């Protein structure tokens, strides 16, 4: 995806992919103009933390109702100019359909957007998750989590 962000900035090429997704952890690899970054979200008992390349960017505290929408800027100058702006959204509810034999689940959804569109969408934050199945067998496959 090419993106002219900021004033007098050249177009930017951005790709994103999920490296790990668990109930309380998400790691996303971002390639911005060939430079790799790691965006990480962690949930503990009383706080959610967003880090980029190991540096804390946001912290949301509380027992419930924590922040689920974060704005991040990559490649900003020391004066705060330019950079690539992305919007990180997370749905931390457990996805019971993803439960494995150990009883572990994943979180429900993750979404990462840049100015021109969606870079990454997973689970409940993926627009395809709201499409109705074409047939009963498709509905059964989707509901049971079966893929063949």
Summarised one tens digit per residue, pLDDT across range 21-58 is 988 999 999 998 888 999 999 999 899 999 999 989 99
How many residues are listed for the chain in this entry?
148
Q: Is residue 15 part of a domain?
A: yes
Q: What is the pLDDT of residue 148?
A: 58
Distance CA 83, CA 123 (A): 28
Task: Name 36's bridge partners.
Answer: 31
Q: Is residue 54 part of a domain?
A: yes
Q: What is the pLDDT of residue 62?
A: 85
Q: Is residue 77 part of a domain?
A: yes
Distance CA 129, CA 98 (A): 14
Domain count, the chain: 1
Distance CA 42, CA 52 (A): 12
Show the domain range for 67: 8-144
| pLDDT bracket for residue 11 (50, 70, 90) | low
Model pLDDT for residues 79-111, shown as the tens digit of each residue: 777 778 899 999 888 887 777 778 788 888 999
């Amino acid at each position: 995806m090419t993106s002219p962000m900021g004033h007098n900035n050249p177009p930017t090429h951005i790709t994103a992919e999920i490296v790990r997704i668990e109930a309380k952890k998400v790691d996303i690899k971002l390639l911005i103009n060939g430079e790799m970054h790691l965006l990480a979200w962690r949930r503990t008992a009383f706080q959610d933390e967003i880090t980029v390349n190991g540096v804390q960017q946001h912290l949301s505290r509380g027992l419930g109702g924590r922040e689920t929408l974060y704005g991040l800027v990559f490649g900003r100058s020391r004066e705060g100019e330019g950079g690539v702006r992305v919007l990180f959204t997370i749905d931390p509810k457990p996805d019971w359909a993803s439960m494995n034999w150990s009883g572990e689940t994943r979180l429900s959804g993750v979404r990462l957007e840049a100015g021109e569109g969606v870079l990454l969408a997973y689970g409940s934050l993926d627009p395809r998750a709201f499409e109705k199945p074409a047939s009963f067998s498709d509905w059964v496959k989707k509901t049971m989590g079966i893929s063949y």
